């Protein structure tokens, strides 16, 4: 079925009518829907694994680790906390409000939400965000990626089986269909993708003053810093794993590595060994090695490699039939070169050498650019690393580790500036898809007239005295 503007409008109106019926306000209803979603994900796990392989060449293990199992973990975390998260808060109103001393804060859903998901983690970034939306009591329209066609087909199948269209609907199609969605009046929009499209989403949302959450990759990519005192073998092992994962098509992946010149040769030797150890001498022939999503992404990667051919010291070859490109090390790369001034989203890995004594200059340059979604530091000086991580601006990150901050329960996943706004995962997703509504419960008795006219004259001077006392 082809999605037209009128058809999408009809779905949105159905969902708005269903939301106004009040059914989603019931926390027990939300819990039942989350359990249904979890059961569906587990039931369709093999179909999702197959779709992820067909779209991205992902192995079963990587598919479950990064997409399917992570959704299940997300739902389980929500189910364990949703009852306490959704309870109204009770506050003392303060003497200034006497005698109305009780105030409630209700956690209210926005209403009809729009979730626009990307191709790189099509299951996680559709159903994981959906779980957050459901937890807060919203209905949802999911606009899936037109690039990951097999995953989009599987998502449509599972959602149509589990939920009625008036509650959750999946819409597929290209950019024109996405714009049809953005032209509708939604109550909350959650977009995952590029900063460029993020700007477009915000412009469209502004027409209806719709609140937006953005999870973006970062305009100039995510930096990894390897100091001269780092455990080089450990750093290389983890960096290689992460760059191989989904062939680099990850919003929080390492875009470029700044390595201390004093240990650069040793680090690169370890990095080469780790790539070979983990994916073999012929990665293009390895069935476990993922491919790039489409011809356009492959050609972009190939052209970038050709433009920097003189710096390639490992890899550099691709297969335009299977759309795989080798993990590729470029060295030495200047910190001002073009390739380290934009997000790559592929298996190219530029290495920028620096004198360890000049690390602060490197950090100043990184901070002067657009904020990344992630930062990674490898060093034995944890005190220094903690100071850097607690003073820089980026979405999140790790010290002597990669990507695992994404898996920690109870903490937010978010970006800042060109890497996004808003946050989700667990309670943070619940908060992102709900708004706090403050309600004071008034009293009919013992009301003081200090807030009422008249204020002037000696007979009313006590009003100002009491007001000053109450508002301290």
Catalytic residues: 215, 251
Nearest to 180 by CA among 218, 148, 146, 226: 146
Burial of 343 (0-12, 13-18, 19+ CB in 10 A): buried
State both tokens at 188. Answer: 């909350």
State both tokens at 98. Answer: 């006497």
Nearest to 66 by CA among 407, 327, 424, 302: 407
On whether the CB atoms of residues 157 and 150 are closer than 8 A, the answer is: no
Nearest to 431 by CA among 60, 81, 24: 81
State both tokens at 44. Answer: 């369709």
CA atoms within 13 A on the CB side of 361: 9
On whether the CB atoms of residues 24 and 192 are closer than 8 A, the answer is: no
Please tell me whether residue 410 adopts helix, strand or coil conformation. Answer: coil
Which residues lie across from 420 on neighbouring strands? 215
Nearest to 379 by CA among 459, 267, 282: 267
State how far the Cα of 428 lies from the Cα of 338, in Å rounded to an integer: 36
Please tell me whether residue 334 adopts helix, strand or coil conformation. Answer: coil
Q: Which helix (H) or strand (E) holds 420?
A: strand 420-421
CB atoms within 10 A of CB 103: 16
Angle subtended at Cα 44 by Cα 41 and Cα 49, rounded to the nearest 5 degrees: 100
Tell me how long the chain is.
472
Computed on alpha carbons and rounded to an integer, the radius of gyration of the chain in Å comes to 26
Nearest to 135 by CA among 159, 113, 161, 117: 113
């Amino acid at each position: 079925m082809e999605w037209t503007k009128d058809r999408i409008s009809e779905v949105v109106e159905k969902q708005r009518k269903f939301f106004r019926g009040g059914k989603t306000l019931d926390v027990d209803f939300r819990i039942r829907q989350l359990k249904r979603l979890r059961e569906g994900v587990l039931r369709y796990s093999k179909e999702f694994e197959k779709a992820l392989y067909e779209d991205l060449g992902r192995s079963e293990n990587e598919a479950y680790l990064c997409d399917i199992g992570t959704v299940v973990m997300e739902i389980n975390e929500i189910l364990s906390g949703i009852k306490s998260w959704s309870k109204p808060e009770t506050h003392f109103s303060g003497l200034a409000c006497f005698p109305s001393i009780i105030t409630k804060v209700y956690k209210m859903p926005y209403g009809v939400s729009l979730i626009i998901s990307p191709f790189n983690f099509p299951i996680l970034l559709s159903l994981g965000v959906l779980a957050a939306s459901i937890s807060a009591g919203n209905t949802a329209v999911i606009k899936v990626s037109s690039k990951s066609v097999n995953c989009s087909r599987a998502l449509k199948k599972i959602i149509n089986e589990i939920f009625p269209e008036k509650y959750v609907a999946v819409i597929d199609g290209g950019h024109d269909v996405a714009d049809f969605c953005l032209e509708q009046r939604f109550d909350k929009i959650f977009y995952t993708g590029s900063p460029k499209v993020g700007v477009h989403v915000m412009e469209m949302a502004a027409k209806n003053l719709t609140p937006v959450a953005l999870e973006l990759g970062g305009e100039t990519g995510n930096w990894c810093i390897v100091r001269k005192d780092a455990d080089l073998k450990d750093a290389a092992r983890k960096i290689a794993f992460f760059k191989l994962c989904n062939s680099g098509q990850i919003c929080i992946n390492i875009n470029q590595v700044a390595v201390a010149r004093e240990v650069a040769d040793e680090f690169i030797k370890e990095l080469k060994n780790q790539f070979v150890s983990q994916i073999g001498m012929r990665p293009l022939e390895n069935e476990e090695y993922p491919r790039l999503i489409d011809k356009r992404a492959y050609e972009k990667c190939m052209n970038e490699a050709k433009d920097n051919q003189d710096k390639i010291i490992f890899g550099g070859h691709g297969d335009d039939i299977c759309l795989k490109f080798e993990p590729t090390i470029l060295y030495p790369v200047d910190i001002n070169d073009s390739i380290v001034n934009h997000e790559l989203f592929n298996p190219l890995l530029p290495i920028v050498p620096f004198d360890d004594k000049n690390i602060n200059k490197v950090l100043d340059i990184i901070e002067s650019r657009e904020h990344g979604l992630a930062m990674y530091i490898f060093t034995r000086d944890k005190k220094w690393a903690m100071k850097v991580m607690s003073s820089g601006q980026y979405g999140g990150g790790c010290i002597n580790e990669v990507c695992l901050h994404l898996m920690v329960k109870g903490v937010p996943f978010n970006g800042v500036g060109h890497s996004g706004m808003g946050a989700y995962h667990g309670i943070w997703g619940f908060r992102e898809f709900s708004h706090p509504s403050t309600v004071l419960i008034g009293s009919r008795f013992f009301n003081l007239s200090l807030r009422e006219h008249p204020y002037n004259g000696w007979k009313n001077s006590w009003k100002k005295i009491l007001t000053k006392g109450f508002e301290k």
